[in-house]
Structure 1
């Protein structure tokens, strides 16, 4: 539990630097599927980042003052409920097991929080993230204010604790990177399994089942997000879900899927032919996307900016669109014109990557929030540092339209990998997933 305790201490130190106060951090609520069942429970990422505690109905309170404290509120032991719902730590056991200074029953929040907030200079809280807790916090503050005649004061300022925690989570430590490598490896094996099992005549949902089998077989509890399994024209729908469409001979299959392992996400996309053989038109566009991804990964290293990889990919893709006739140079002009005017967005309409971590679209600012050199306009893009983790996922999506060469119609291709910024460059954590045309065709030929 030392990593979690160190993170709590780091947050308390940041609170001290801002004058001290009390931070209130809840886990995620349980969500009901219907009147008598809940969805599988998944804790709040930031709550877990600070505690390692996975039970619902829990709140962390951190006090930064003359006496620093980390306090956990959680469900009491209840042998009868444990028969139905499973093990509960209870406050006493949780305090010792998770390294808190104190722990209390969750039902004691209303009695204890006003006392902890009394005479504190500031409240550190993510207002608006939990409406039920928002109401409780207002009630606690109101109760403190009613004691003003006794000389007791309520916090006079508030800070959004999310900003501090998001910056902490943006840089992954060695233990986090180890989990993410393992998650990426499991997901890479799932993509390889999907390629081996795929053939014309199967439904998208059958391929999705192969992914889930491989995730669970290796210890993942959940997919990190709803998997995309899209064949044919469906691959041109960015957030398509696996449906009942049948894989057809000659069509491509785009799979965007990753498992969650120990609360950390992976996120991989591969595109391959249902029959195991790329057509000439598919080969042309696939090699274009792959070249764009190579250029983007090459731009990832300390000191570069977050968008440098995107800019590198856009340049390769835009030139390819001109070379293939997807864009008519007589209408759109030069490569620089295409980039400046955004004409490439007809076929590539999303960013080349995003932060990755405990959430698949992880927390952290994409621009330099503390930059004071820019006057007006946008702040500069974030400078990359070792320990940052992100996806690299260029793509191309061609829908039928007048003036577009027919051989490219309904081709959707995306290639995505999970990348960690290292001291001297980038580590592709998901490299085990077959990616070159030769490797993909060889794997599908040998099944």
Structure 2
């Protein structure tokens, strides 16, 4: 089934997509960009997952229909958007919902041409005949990829090129990733609202937190909060890891009952109009941290705060990781968990036993959004309108022998931030990080 649009373009302005396409047209020269919206995925036999369009496709078209193809090519000072969409099938629509016709799509989405998807093989050779380069992400749509390669071998293309092949098939990310990295006002509105929905849902979820409660119950409560507040659901599989499960970075089974004295790490984010929020908090199941749990929590909280304070234009993103790692190492030394000098620990990276991941990732249409972290072999410098997370953590699975008193402590604190002209804006301030406030939240929710 398709996503059954509540409104065209999910409420984004048509001018926004038109402006993005103009930017792409200016970069294409005589090249062509080919994008697929993706297909409906099967869960089993004749049961389908809800459809979500491929992010790059939506970013340039605003169209949420499945099985569509967009071709962008420069044309003088402007360019053409050519869409190929499934033709209407009234019998199928009785089961899956009404689709738009070709003319309606052309009018609503500003396309130069709209054709039936079944005509793609007929038109593609002529559309590619003069393309110097072709931007297409291989390995994502095998049917379209085969059709593309077949079209390049078509007599019409060979004749127009004098048997010359295109200069290359290139990843669209080289055109689009930097564009998507910098968020416009309409994108920021969605991310802010997704962050508020997520924060409020976290608070509401805590009413269900307690010994004997299933991890799946917190998952259900959180995701109910997302839907109740207008989000389409979770932006990624919700993580609810209690006890040792909190030490599994991408744990998502959520199938264990919480026990008294456990911590529970909850990592979740709402998706609103395809844009994601991403928050992690770690709570004491019984409402109070033990002394050892709190000592570890304070180390992570200090690292989290130092990372956020460092965010500003002109700062390398790797530097955010460096300052958080430094704080974590200092804390691990104070707790007697690590031995030796700070310099030696950093050089040998022995801290990675307890903190194996990076501190930040980009956030937007994808939960781990596009955009390189290195530019010309140097760490990327932060600039206004980038959105990213800060999420230090410490994890002590039972594999760490000799640290039995820390066993099954897994703590991560994650927030979403926008780089501004003068520093950063915390997009998730509604959810506290101080240990006492976290304990109060759990206790008050009872």
Could you state the TM-score of these two structures normalised by the residue count of structure 2? 0.93
Aligned to 1:3: 16
User: 2:28 aligned to 8, 15, 35, which one?
Assistant: 15
Cα contact 2:130–2:161 (8 A) shared by 1: no
Query: Once the 2 structures are TM-superposed, how far is the Cα of residue 80 of structure 1 from its aligned partner?
Result: 2.5
| Structure 1, 82-91 or 62-71: larger mean CA deviation | 62-71
Aligned to 2:242: 231
User: 1:426 aligned to 404, 424, 427, which one?
Assistant: 424
Deviations along 1:127-148, whole A, 9 cap, x unmatched? 3332221100011111145652
Query: Once the 2 structures are TM-superposed, how far is the Cα of residue 410 of structure 1 from its aligned partner?
Result: 1.4
| Structure 1, 347-356 or 395-404: larger mean CA deviation | 395-404
Aligned to 1:251: 262
Q: Distance in 2 between matches of 1:239 and 1:49?
A: 27
Output aligned runs, 1:36-435, within 5 Å.
Answer: 36-66=46-76, 68-144=79-155, 148=159, 155-327=166-338, 329=339, 333-368=340-375, 371=376, 379-400=377-398, 401-404=400-403, 406-435=404-433
How many corresponding residue pairs?
Answer: 430
Query: Once the 2 structures are TM-superposed, how far is the Cα of residue 434 of structure 1 from its aligned partner?
Result: 2.7
| Structure 1, 66-75 or 163-172: larger mean CA deviation | 66-75
Cα contact 1:119–1:153 (8 A) shared by 2: no
Q: Distance in 1 between matches of 2:79 and 2:20?
A: 14
Q: Distance in 2 between matches of 1:4 and 1:129?
A: 23
Q: Distance in 1 between matches of 2:103 and 2:355?
A: 54
Query: Once the 2 structures are TM-superposed, how far is the Cα of residue 243 of structure 1 from its aligned partner?
Result: 2.7
CA pair 363-149 structure 1, distance change in 2 beyond 3 A: closer
Query: Once the 2 structures are TM-superposed, how far is the Cα of residue 65 of structure 1 from its aligned partner?
Result: 3.4
| Structure 1, 73-82 or 215-224: larger mean CA deviation | 73-82
Cα contact 1:199–1:247 (8 A) shared by 2: yes
Q: Distance in 2 between matches of 1:24 and 1:30?
A: 19
Query: Once the 2 structures are TM-superposed, how far is the Cα of residue 149 of structure 1 from its aligned partner?
Result: 8.0
Q: Distance in 1 between matches of 2:155 and 2:63?
A: 29
Q: Distance in 2 between matches of 1:362 and 1:71?
A: 26
CA pair 383-107 structure 1, distance change in 2 beyond 3 A: same
CA pair 248-11 structure 1, distance change in 2 beyond 3 A: same
Q: Distance in 1 between matches of 2:157 and 2:228?
A: 56
Q: Which runs of 5+ in 2 are unaligned?
A: 1-13
Q: Which runs of 5+ in 1 are unaligned?
A: 372-378
Q: Secondary structure at the match of 1:68?
A: strand
Q: Distance in 1 between matches of 2:144 and 2:157?
A: 20
Aligned to 1:376: none
Q: Secondary structure at the match of 1:60?
A: strand
Aligned to 1:34: 44
Query: Once the 2 structures are TM-superposed, how far is the Cα of residue 189 of structure 1 from its aligned partner?
Result: 1.3
Query: Once the 2 structures are TM-superposed, how far is the Cα of residue 279 of structure 1 from its aligned partner?
Result: 1.2
Query: Once the 2 structures are TM-superposed, how far is the Cα of residue 154 of structure 1 from its aligned partner?
Result: 5.9
Q: Distance in 2 between matches of 1:134 and 1:445?
A: 55
Q: Distance in 2 between matches of 1:253 and 1:114?
A: 56
Cα contact 1:122–1:159 (8 A) shared by 2: yes
Q: Distance in 2 between matches of 1:58 and 1:183?
A: 27
Q: Secondary structure at the match of 2:369?
A: coil
| Structure 1, 67-76 or 314-323: larger mean CA deviation | 67-76
Q: Secondary structure at the match of 2:428?
A: coil
Cα contact 2:303–2:328 (8 A) shared by 1: yes
Aligned to 1:375: none
